[in-house]
Amino acid sequence: MSHSVLTQKGVLSTRGKRTLLVLITIAAIVLALLCAEGAVRLRQMLKYGSAKVLEDYYTFDPKLNLRVPVAKFASGRISINSLGFRGPELVVPKPPGTVRLAFLGASTTFCAEVSGNEYVWPHLVATALGQTYSGAKIDYVNGSLPGYTMDALLKNLQHRVAPLHPDVIVIYEASNNLSGEMRDLAEKRGIISDSKFKEFSWPGRYSLLWNLVEKNLRVLASQRAAKSDQGRLEVDASTLGNEYRQALTQLVRAAQQSAKLVAVATFSIQLRSDQSPEQKMRASASAFFYMSFATPRLLIEGYERYNQIIREVARETGALLIDGENGIPGDSVHFADTVHFTDAGSKAMAHRISSALISSATLHKILADDASPR
């Protein structure tokens, strides 16, 4: 009897040890994940001044059927004014004698990657013009949001930007339309099952660690596939951009009804044809996240085609063309990824835009007219 009890106690003790070991292991894994999540959030806090995800800065306006920035929202290096635009407050209605600039674009104009509102290239353009024309009153509207396509930009112009009476409008966007067109083609050819971008999983929407891991796994899978040429999209780049041409033309025409000067800028990317294969793969990384079927060559040709369309639309509409997209060096000093600028890239972009505007006779006339006594 005594031996049986001891054996029974021994069995229970062994099970208890095993249970305790399992619990300790689970606790250690959870603790490690929490520490890793904390480290990722700390890294983002140090880099961007906030641990929030970018989606926290947007809201959906059901009346406009459009995503817009959250008015008066500020966190880290991004702040939104009371009208729902990234940048300083604007006086409404526009004061007499003020020249108002407006910038229409998507994430590459919103510039979440730079160090603060004062490093966003539209802000730097307005600052440069203010320094060049020291007696002029100049302000600006940053009418951009990540994910905007030409259709969204047109809606944003009509309902949110045009009522602020801009004198000058600069349009800069190609990436989202190109990505959408290529995804549609990939679906039609059976390379992907759905042209809609695959959103992050439920954990990826709330955990920065999971989000980072999921993103990197997608990019690595795309890079491996690109090297093997399996499941790649092949397309004649000269056939791309028909819908983009129509949408850009419509946007430029609408902008010209609101502003005295409308400019369109060709699109800059880190990826360049003279880079080594390894450099091209690195420069394509973020593009692979959205277009897992792409190759560096297709991306280069696709953006070249869209830039050709931008030049042609500028010529056909009489808009000011801001060319020289490759004047911004294609390296990690100027680009945070395939298309988004670092502080240095944003500064170079601002120089490119402001130089073209300052050379415009139309801008000189606008400034002279607004400076004249009323």
pLDDT top residue among 221 and 255:
255
Query: What confidence category does residue 210 fall into, taking pLDDT thresholds of 50, 70 and 90?
Result: low
Share of the chain above pLDDT 90, in %: 68
Rounded distance between C-alpha atoms, residue 287 and residue 349, angstroms: 20
pLDDT value of position 16? 73
Burial class from Cβ neighbours inside 10 Å (0-12, 13-18, 19+) for residue 123 reads: buried
What is the structure's pLDDT at 208?
58
Choose the most confident range, by mean pLDDT, from 12-26, 179-193, 320-334. 320-334
| All residues at 6 or more sequence positions from 290 whose CB lies less than 8 Å from its CB, including other chains | 179, 183, 197
Q: What is the largest CA-CA distance in the chain?
A: 111
Instruction: Calculate mean pLDDT across residues 44-70.
Output: 75
What gap in Å lies between CA 120 and CA 111, rounded to an integer?
A: 6
Task: Write the DSSP string, 223-289.
Answer: HHHHHHTTT-----GGG--HHHHHHHHHHHHHHHHH-SEEEEEPPP-S--TTS-HHHHHHHTHHHHH
Q: How confident is the model at residue 150 (pLDDT cuts 50, 70, 90)?
A: very high
How many CB atoms neighbour CB 334 within 10 A?
A: 19
For the stretch 223-263, pLDDT in tens is 555 555 556 899 999 999 999 999 999 999 999 999 999 99
CA–CA dist 340, 322 (Å, integer): 18
Among 41-50, 74-83, 137-146, 327-336, whose mean pLDDT is lowest? Answer: 41-50
